[in-house]
């Protein structure tokens, strides 16, 4: 069995989610009025109420989706549709599900302003000023999926609210790790993905206030306030609610363990000549993002894999061409400085044994990757 350090990509399913899924798997159509429909509806209502309680919102604000990508699309496109300014404010470090949605709006005539980040992956003081003019929607992630940087979204939400700008928060990397209260946060909408906290892949939710509500951009029947039409996955919703409850219940313990493991991994990385840490505080303690100039990311991933360590890199393969991550680019990092950038992310499958193994193997692996590159 390999040691898994890619929890930010997806996390192992929790047994409690499997059990909840199995228990609800025979649920039929939650929209039907006959007995089996009412039974399915009751399971779905329970799941919705649990999510609402855990996320500090009203049940009606919970829209079950099939993942975080769908939630981001529905919110950003839907809020843009109801606006009148044709302006969008976002950041250059968003996940592709936000970035490409915004690019789509730009291709239809939206003017987009990007709040810049500095070399440390955090926003500079003046970035917030872009919110001082109204926009149809402002969208900002709560924590970056690559660096783990945690962003003070509350301040940005408040600033946007002063202009009446609806604010969408991509909280995919945070939900289940840090307790959140949607009502207190003041955002217009918030997205989450179940498989990041141990629910089945193919589950997620959007929290959306009733006003201003996003317009419908996906057309069909009346389910999920018409925002996400289609027969609802009752078993998935039930599994998601169970996983979220357990994940939040364990969050404090995980955070403590991860703080210790994270320091050990960083120490091991910084002991390697030329290494540059790319995840600076305030940061999710699950993340270590680090560049090894002179090494190639693919070689590093392959050598780690051969050693039984699964991690991801700071580059994405687009049409067979390896491109440096847009997040590193936004931080002003050159391709040469980025070198082989690795992301280690921790979660339920992380153990002392795995961390010991990683810190022991990593220096030799970087050395071999650099030698292969020279």
Alpha-carbon distance of 247 to 229, in angstroms, equals 28
The three-class DSSP label of residue 168 is strand
Confirm or reject binding of residue 247 to ligand PLP (CB under 6 A).
Answer: no
DSSP 8-state assignment for residue 132: G
Question: What is the contact mask toward ligand PLP in residues 131 to 150, using x (rule: CB under 6 A)?
Answer: ----------x---x-----
Q: Which of 67, 223, 299, 345 binds ligand PLP (CB under 6 A)?
A: 67
**What's the min distance (Å) between Cβ of 126 and ligand PLP?**
24
Within 13 Å of residue 110, how many CA atoms lie on the same side as its CB?
25
**What's the min distance (Å) between Cβ of 67 and ligand PLP?**
3
**What's the min distance (Å) between Cβ of 214 and ligand PLP?**
17
Q: Which of 89, 115, 172, 213 binds ligand PLP (CB under 6 A)?
A: 172
Q: Where are the beta strands (DSSP E) in the chain?
A: 3-4, 62-65, 87-90, 111-114, 137-141, 167-170, 189-193, 204-208, 276-277, 287-292, 309-310, 312-313, 315-318, 321-324, 340-345
On whether the CB atoms of residues 79 and 137 are closer than 8 A, the answer is yes
CA-to-CA separations, 281 to 151, 152, 259, 263, in angstroms, rounded:
10, 12, 12, 12
Confirm or reject binding of residue 17 to ligand PLP (CB under 6 A).
Answer: no
- The nearer residue to ligand PLP, 72 or 325, going by C-beta atoms, is 72
Residue 138 bridge partners (DSSP): 89, 167
- Stretch near ligand PLP under the rule CB under 6 A, chosen from 66-74, 100-108, 274-282, 294-302: 66-74
Q: Which of 11, 165, 173, 188 binds ligand PLP (CB under 6 A)?
A: 173
**What's the min distance (Å) between Cβ of 141 and ligand PLP?**
5
Q: 329 — alpha (psi -120 to 50), left (phi > 0) or beta?
A: alpha
Omega of the bond prior to 26 within 30 degrees of 0, cis?
no
Residues 83-122 interacting with ligand PLP (rule: CB under 6 A): 95, 97
- The nearer residue to ligand PLP, 196 or 209, going by C-beta atoms, is 196
Q: Which of 193, 258, 312, 350 binds ligand PLP (CB under 6 A)?
A: 193
Cβ-based burial of 217 (10 A; exposed 0-12, middle 13-18, buried ≥19): middle
- The nearer residue to ligand PLP, 72 or 341, going by C-beta atoms, is 72
Structure token digits, residue 134: 């109204």
Confirm or reject binding of residue 257 to ligand PLP (CB under 6 A).
Answer: no
Residues whose CB falls within 8 Å of the CB of residue 363, separated by 6 or more in sequence, listed in order: 268, 271, 272
Q: Which of 54, 61, 68, 333 binds ligand PLP (CB under 6 A)?
A: 68
How many whole angstroms from its chain centre is CA 62?
A: 17
> Nearest-CB residue to ligand PLP?
68
Residues 333-372 interacting with ligand PLP (rule: CB under 6 A): none
- The nearer residue to ligand PLP, 157 or 365, going by C-beta atoms, is 157
Confirm or reject binding of residue 69 to ligand PLP (CB under 6 A).
Answer: yes
- The nearer residue to ligand PLP, 79 or 295, going by C-beta atoms, is 79
Alpha-carbon distance of 292 to 366, in angstroms, equals 7
Confirm or reject binding of residue 170 to ligand PLP (CB under 6 A).
Answer: yes
Strands 315-318 and 321-324: antiparallel
- The nearer residue to ligand PLP, 6 or 246, going by C-beta atoms, is 6
Strands 137-141 and 167-170: parallel
Question: What is the contact mask toward ligand PLP in residues 201 to 230, using x (rule: CB under 6 A)?
Answer: ---x--------------------------
- The nearer residue to ligand PLP, 290 or 327, going by C-beta atoms, is 327
Active-site residue, 283 included? no
How many whole angstroms from its chain centre is CA 101?
A: 15
**What's the min distance (Å) between Cβ of 97 and ligand PLP?**
5
Residues labelled catalytic: 317
Residues that bind ligand PLP (CB under 6 A): 67-69, 72, 95, 97, 141, 145, 170, 172-173, 193, 204
């Amino acid at each position: 069995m390999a040691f898994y350090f890619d929890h930010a990509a997806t996390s192992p399913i929790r047994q409690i989610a499997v059990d909840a899924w199995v228990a609800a798997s025979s649920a039929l159509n939650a929209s039907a009025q006959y007995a089996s429909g009412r039974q399915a509806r009751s399971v779905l209502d329970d799941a919705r109420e649990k999510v609402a309680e855990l996320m500090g919102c009203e049940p009606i604000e919970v829209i079950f989706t099939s993942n975080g990508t769908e939630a981001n699309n529905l919110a950003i496109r839907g809020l843009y549709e109801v606006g009148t300014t044709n302006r969008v404010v976002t950041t250059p470090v968003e996940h592709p599900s936000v970035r490409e949605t915004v690019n789509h709006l730009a291709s239809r005539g939206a003017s987009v302003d990007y709040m810049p980040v500095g070399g440390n992956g955090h926003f500079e003081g003046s970035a917030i000023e872009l919110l001082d003019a109204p926009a149809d929607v402002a969208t900002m992630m709560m924590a970056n999926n690559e660096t783990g940087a945690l962003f003070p979204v509350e301040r940005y939400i408040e600033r946007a609210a002063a202009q009446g700008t609806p604010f969408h928060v991509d909280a995919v990397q945070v939900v289940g790790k840090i307790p959140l209260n949607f009502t207190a946060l003041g955002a217009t909408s918030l997205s989450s993905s179940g498989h990041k906290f141990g629910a089945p892949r193919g589950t997620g939710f959007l929290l959306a206030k009733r006003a201003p509500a996003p317009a419908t951009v996906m057309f069909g029947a009346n389910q999920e306030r018409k925002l996400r039409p289609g027969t609802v996955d009752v078993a998935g919703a039930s599994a998601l609610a169970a996983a979220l409850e357990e994940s939040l219940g364990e969050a404090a313990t995980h955070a403590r363990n991860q703080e210790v493991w994270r320091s050990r991994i960083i120490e091991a990385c910084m002991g390697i000549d030329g290494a540059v840490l790319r995840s600076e505080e305030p940061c999710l303690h699950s993340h270590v993002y680090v560049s090894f100039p002179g090494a190639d990311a693919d070689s590093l991933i392959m050598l780690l894999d051969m050693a039984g360590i699964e991690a991801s890199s700071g580059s994405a393969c687009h049409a067979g061409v390896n491109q440096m991550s847009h997040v590193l680019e936004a931080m002003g990092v050159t391709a040469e400085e980025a070198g082989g950038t690795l992301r280690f992310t921790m979660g339920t499958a992380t153990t002392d044994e795995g961390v010991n193994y990683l810190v022991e193997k990593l220096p030799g692996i970087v050395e071999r990757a650099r030698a292969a590159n020279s």
